[in-house]
Amino acid sequence: MEIELTVLAAEPDTSEIAEWEVVEEAPLRIDSSAQIMRLDGEQVEGFPVIPAGRYRIRAHARGRDSAWDRQVTVPVEQHMIWVWPETSRRGLRQLKKTDHAWDESAQDLTPDLGKVVFIDPDGTLRKLDPGSYEVQKAYTDMTPWEGREPSEKLRALHVSQNLSRIDRRLLDVFESADAEALDEITAWSARRACERAEIDQIDWVAELLALVDECVDLTEYISGSLYDRVRRDKRITRRIRHGRHLSPDFVEQDVAIAIMHSTMHGDSLERALQTLEQALRTYGLDAQELVGQFLGR
């Protein structure tokens, strides 16, 4: 096994991903300091001590399928690890996977719905019981509508309050949106969710997205369970992701495909609100990334 490690000053782009078979990212918190050590316990020369702080780590690998079931005399796997300072609260993220090593299809993909993600002010992520004092206090401390009530039409829909908890500015977009703008939001949200889950290029998903783009009611185009269809499609890799603050973990691809049902709400306003909320849920800990995209459209 060959391993290359690089400590970077800032987040790199993703142009290198094409050269690798699997690429994943995760947050890394160093409480005191970290050193690069060899298996014999000696520090590797050329790598300074990494100071305490919050970082992000991107791991690349290829060749893991080459000799998975036998011993080898020469390295067949290559790994490249990048680490850089990070202050955001992004969670685990799989950027690419084309090999079969540690295939998630063989793992238990049932998220723990009995706990919710709780993010402390310093960014520490914990799993807590929804009925715990800390979680209940967090809900109590939330200011309804952040002190700025929306119009009556928005107040009447429960989903509006859910969006307000994520970012109150989202509702401002809906105040003056006409039917055409609302349909555009519905189509935009559906596509962002499926892109996030990397299912937008699957032929049958792409067909449904094209229909949503044309404002076609999907009722007559959906037969059976979309969840089952995702599970049966061997081209789709299902992944468990962390939910956003005060939300449980979820299977990214299941949440993304569920947005198709949100596009079938009869009222154009509720349809747009529901699909945007579902798209934000698909982004999990990275929900603010989608908020920025939506407000900057």
pLDDT tens string 33-83: 888 887 788 888 877 788 999 999 999 999 888 766 556 677 889 999 999
**What rounded mean pLDDT belongs to the chain?**
90
Reply yes or no on whether the pLDDT at 106 is more than 50. Answer: no
Calculate helix-pair angle for 158-166, 268-283, nearest 10 degrees.
Answer: 40
Q: Name the range with the highest mean pLDDT among 125-129, 180-184, 227-231.
A: 180-184
Question: Tens digits of per-residue pLDDT, 3-13?
Answer: 888 999 999 99
Evaluate if residue 93 carries a pLDDT over 90: no
CA distances from 99 to 69, 81, 203 (A): 15, 18, 21
> DSSP character for 83?
E
Interior/surface letters 107-116, b for 16+ CB within 10 angstroms, e for the rest: eeeebeeebb
Q: What is the pLDDT of residues 135-153, one digit of tens each?
A: 999 999 999 899 999 999 9
More confident residue, 21 or 68: 21
- What is the rounded distance in angstroms from the CA atom of residue 103 to the CA atom of residue 245? 28
* Beta-ladder partners of 78: 2, 62
Percentage of the residues of the chain whose pLDDT score is greater than 70: 95
Mean pLDDT of 154-162: 95
Q: pTM for this one?
A: 0.69
Q: Which of 65, 79, 84 is nearest to 19 (CA)?
A: 79
Q: pLDDT for 233-255, tens place per residue?
A: 888 988 889 999 999 999 999 99
Note the helical H segments in 36-178.
133-141, 152-155, 158-166, 169-175
Task: Give, rounded to a whole angstrom, the gap between the first and last alpha carbons of the chain.
Answer: 45
Contact 255, 242 (CB under 8 A): no
Phi, psi of 117 (to 5 degrees): -75, 130
pLDDT in tens, 201-218: 999 999 999 999 999 999
Q: What local confidence, expressed as pLDDT, does residue 207 receive?
A: 97
Going by DSSP bridges, is the β-strand pair 2-7/78-85 parallel, antiparallel, or unpaired? parallel
